[in-house]
Structure 1
Amino acid sequence: MNTQHTATSDSKPDKGSRREERKVEIRQRIIESCLQMMGQKHFQEITIKDICDQAQVARRTLYSYFASKEALLDEVSHSVLYAGTIDSFSDATQLFEGTADRLDAAFGNVGKPMELYQGESIQVFIQLIQNLTLRISANTALLQSFHKAALDFFEACLANEDTRDHLDPHMIADLTVNALVGIIMSWVNDQNYPAQQRINDLKEHIASVILLTPKNTSVNR
């Protein structure tokens, strides 16, 4: 009996793990389906039924993940506009020791969303920006998470021996977030705007401020 009990107990985490993986998969499928629909028509014209049909989920399933269509749009906005950038900051901290290498890795990935949304798909990106502009509360929450990621990144960098003393990570994080948001907005208004070049310029400026021995940390152009 003890053996049977142990086997049953051991199997529970596996079932729970599979259930959680399934939830993540469904959630991501709904987000991606919404993005696909936004590539075809404006978000205001998309119905919950459209998204459910595209994602192949029931309406009640969608609402178990997102309280409203607007909440789904907020999550899509986060996924496209900020999630990759936040991940790039945290990944750079974990994967690299030196501050120059961390800067290269983090800022080298910041412009990826803009590279993905070109041509006709730029309209999707613009819709997401417009959503954040109109929904101040959603925009504030996303900016806070963006700022937190930048702050954690620079706190880790400034703890290294290759950076200058007595620098304020809060100030540098503020500068970085505000500058990156400005670059993104400039690119949305004009797709010929050299966004990646400006991102690289920002990285070089930050490197010159925080590194003890500033060096050329340019990403490949």
Structure 2
Amino acid sequence: MHYSSVMGEVPGLRERKKLRTRQALITEALRLFLEKGYEQTTVSEIAMAAEVSTRTFFSYFASKEEVLLHHVRESLDRALRTVAERRSDDSPADLLARVVATAFEATMGSAEMRRDSASITQLMMTVPSLRAYGLLLLFDTQRELAEALHQACPEELDLIEASAAVGGVIGAVKLAGFICLRRGGSPDEVAEASRRAAEIAIAGMRAVGKGETPGDPALGNR
């Protein structure tokens, strides 16, 4: 388990216990979802498997959706911190490239992480209620990140351009991963497909050039 802390300090005993409980709930929830099915698994079963009460479950997570997709908020918070710490010589493409690199390191840095990520993606593809929840979450995530990118790069990107940049990169990552998984790709292959898609999208940003927005007469931009 990897512990995060403010100012690099090691968490105290109480905080470590809370982190262990939280991780146990996440681990047992994913195991039960895969073994029994998402809809068939109850919150009380997750709590029992993690050896805590149902009340304790709800002190960490509001729902089954939240325990499964806990990583989305965590990933967004990391991305927002990265954007807020923009270096003076960063272009918007540089900044998004570092956001992506940080995200991959945090969520796919080990074989276990890649396996769990592929399992969550598989559940998202097959459970209608999760698909709907995930789409709303993805929309909110992209909106927050686009607003942060615009605020960090106000001279280079207006809000529409920042939205297009964020949507292009995240959309490329998600779609490439989905398609690879649907074709029977392994967790490592899914991770590699997502990484390659991000590189292509960011390369496209670099090709457009700093502060340059292409127009297309077919879209009414003359």
The amino acid across from 2:80 in the alignment is S
2:114 to 108, 114, 117: 117
Q: Does 1:93 align with 2:83?
A: yes
- Compare CA radii of gyration and give the structure with the larger one: 1
Is the CA contact 2:80–2:148 (under 8 Å) kept in the aligned structure 1?
A: yes
2:154 to 142, 151, 159: 159
Following TM superposition, where does structure 1 have runs of at least 4 consecutive aligned residues deviating by more than 6 angstroms? 18-25, 164-167
Is the CA contact 1:52–1:62 (under 8 Å) kept in the aligned structure 2?
A: yes
Q: Does 1:37 align with 2:32?
A: yes
Equivalence for 1:172: 165
Percent of residue pairs identical: 17
In structure 1, stretches of 5+ residues that fail to align are 1-17, 214-221
* CA positional deviation for 1:137: 4.4
Q: Can you list the C-alpha shifts for 1:35-64, whole angstroms capped at 9, x where unaligned?
A: 243455533443444312222211233245
User: Which structure is richer in relative contact order (CA contacts within 8 A, separation 6 or more)?
Assistant: 1
SS in structure 2 of the partner of residue 56 of structure 1:
coil
Q: Structure 2 length as normaliser, TM-score?
A: 0.63
Aligned counterparts of 1:51 and 1:44: Cα–Cα separation in 2: 12
Is the CA contact 1:96–1:102 (under 8 Å) kept in the aligned structure 2?
A: yes
In structure 2, stretches of 5+ residues that fail to align are 1-12, 213-222
Equivalence for 1:182: 175
When the two chains are superposed, the root-mean-square deviation of aligned CA atoms in Å is 3.8
Equivalence for 2:129: 134
SS in structure 2 of the partner of residue 168 of structure 1:
helix
Residue correspondences, number: 188
Aligned counterparts of 1:136 and 1:127: Cα–Cα separation in 2: 9
